[in-house]
Chains A and B, each alone.
Chain A
């Protein structure tokens, strides 16, 4: 009889942290063959168009970056919060808070000198997302309210606030749709490359990756945030103001998600609509996990997600496999990564009897 036992293993060497996500992606792509075949797609053609559609032409490649930028920001937001064990499931709501702030300012700042408009909007979007995330952080630190529940539920609160405003004061005059007026031109992110949508927000996302890496690695705050995440009691014992650390962590986390909302508004939609985010905040959770909560990991996992999302459209056109396949692959990527992460701490041993 053969039995399996799960045993603890020695800490893995550093390179494993890089190999594991890559292996997870490879395994995910192999497993994706199953739903592709079920959907009746031709296997090699489907894979070809998946990658061709995302990377094959200049426009598609740049489109992949366009799609990656909000994912990168929400992924960073979640990763930064999770590292401190602030379970921020609310990046979606924080993204909407950022977009809402950008809308209010973007529609009404015609009188402000042009070079100041975007900086103000970006800062305001960051702060709006941050404030929305700091509500559950305050509830957690002061009243011990569970952060998973409160961050998640606040997403719905924000959706309804947004809905109320879009049917009310923010609604475009004369429109019967729940949409705002367009933002002024100086509030739009500049497009950086001709004949594409490659906009400034993409650079902001990359910059955010670097900044978060820098905070984590080089600053006392990054150290404190990690210490709180590892063992809040020991961090408190060591003199760290854990309440302040959680609040600031939440503020930065929510701010990053807010920036994702600003980007979608100022570079893609130019006006607030109900479905400004197709669930970027939730995807951010998966991306953060796939990226092992590391900013560089988030960079690559958000690009991977974006390849799947953008490529799935071409694949669907060319082979008839529905675009929903992209969501199936995303879900599988999370499952595979979680299983792989399990095996970084444990190993399976075969016991023969």
Chain B
């Protein structure tokens, strides 16, 4: 925080209101050349809004923005990009059916001319790739890439536009540990060349790892600014939530019961027709949490989709409570009492345009309690939903509120409420706390532990190693569609798990 240093960005007195909500209140934010500045705060603290204003995505109601010393009126992202500001959102802005190269040049001059100058663009792209170690095949179609690779495309896109102020909105939320490391290396090489990076996050470890400076937002205001070297996780945690947040998970020791989920010799292919699962064997007992760790893209998604009934395996047997699961049939999974928490709750799990109540009854609206001769029993349904909203403490205007009006944590609570309502025999939770803030995460963890105590067997698929270690009784690691190794959670070492995750056998 050297005041004499020249700022590349100065936002002063920024206020932004959305109808009745004030997202940013008189925020002042400076960014210096050659630094990685972390913008830390819980979900809803106003981090993304502030950066969307800098990116020209929102207009602020009050305040001024100076970029490289000049006052900037930003009415669209293109105004920001022309001043060297780029932003990579959590949800990527890529065209899945186009190639990496085509995505890179969209909207640039070489993409605007009637005749594409792909040759020059390719040279430029390859040069950038080499310079920053972002290796991707320029001709690969984006839909075939993993999330981590797609993020690289987004970074390349920004660099191609000569962006020297790069904003990244929770870039690690979708990445596995190794991919995160790679990203961090890229970011460091960017700032070494004098570029500046704003790193939006609510993950304290990462903020400590990567940033030079931390700006903490709470309730739309800046509450603190620290040089990373002079602060600690504990201090940042307190600043961020105003309370001690280090999660304290108390797990009762329970004797596991009979097998509720048995997977034998499971094989599957992915969307690219490549083997995704290779002779996978797994089993989960009652009152037991089996954690699957692993870098994303090693078959976890395919495994969960097969279990959910959303994908056909090529071969293998899956039994729930001893009964075979019918493949490609979500109805079969529901009937066999599987509680399913998909990693993609917005597109797969929930009907965002319908009401909370309509989401809660999705799986049991045909059960005898809720209809007679196809006529829905409104009173019973209302009672059921109100009870769930109360039991899960879901923050919503009511059961008839449209689901998309809920926050991320409350969306996941709706998901859990629906999936756990029937007292499932087995729960498959895929990335259950991805993108959630600390409060919601704690809540979800408690619920999962309650299910374990109730007697369910739980398969936890997560890229968050802390989560896997905190919740699991046993941990296995998936690598290239196979189980690399497994251990009892208390005896497992992070080093060993890490080696397995990178494909090293002991």
Contact = CB atoms under 8 A, between A and B. Distances in A.
B363 A231 contact: no
Interface string A214-235: 0000111101101100110111
Contact of B375 (A5, A218, A231, A241): A218
Contact of B351 (A221, A234, A241): A234
B402 A11 contact: yes
B347 interface: yes
A218 B376 contact: yes
A3 interface: yes
A237 interface: yes
Given A11-B402, A238-B330, A227 B362 contact: yes
B235 interface: no
In this complex, the interface size class of chain A, counting residues with CB under 8 Å from chain B, is 20 to 34
A236 interface: yes
Contact of A3 (B75, B362, B376): B75
Nearest to A14: B400
Nearest to A3: B75
Nearest to A10: B19
Nearest to B334: A239
Contact of B352 (A3, A221, A231, A353): A231
Contact of A220 (B342, B371, B405): B371
B365 interface: yes
Among the interface residues A218, A230, A237, A241, which one has the most CB atoms of the partner chain B within 10 A? A237
A224 B370 CA distance: 14
A17 to B, nearest CB: 13
Contacts of B19: 10
B376 A237 contact: no
Contacts of A235: 351, 362
B351 A227 contact: yes
Interface string A1-38: 00101000011000000000000000000000000000
Contacts of A231: 347, 350-353
B331 interface: yes
B117 interface: no
A162 to B, nearest CB: 35
Contacts of B63: none
Instruction: Name the 8 nearest CB pairs between A and B, nearest first.
Output: A238-B362, A239-B331, A239-B334, A230-B353, A239-B330, A230-B351, A219-B374, A220-B371
Interface of A: 3, 5, 10-11, 218-221, 223-224, 226-227, 230-231, 233-241, 349, 351, 353
Given A238-B351, A239-B331, 17 more contacts: A5-B59, A218-B375, A223-B361, A224-B365, A227-B362, A230-B351, A230-B352, A231-B351, A233-B348, A234-B348, A236-B330, A237-B309, A237-B340, A239-B333, A349-B59, A351-B59, A353-B73
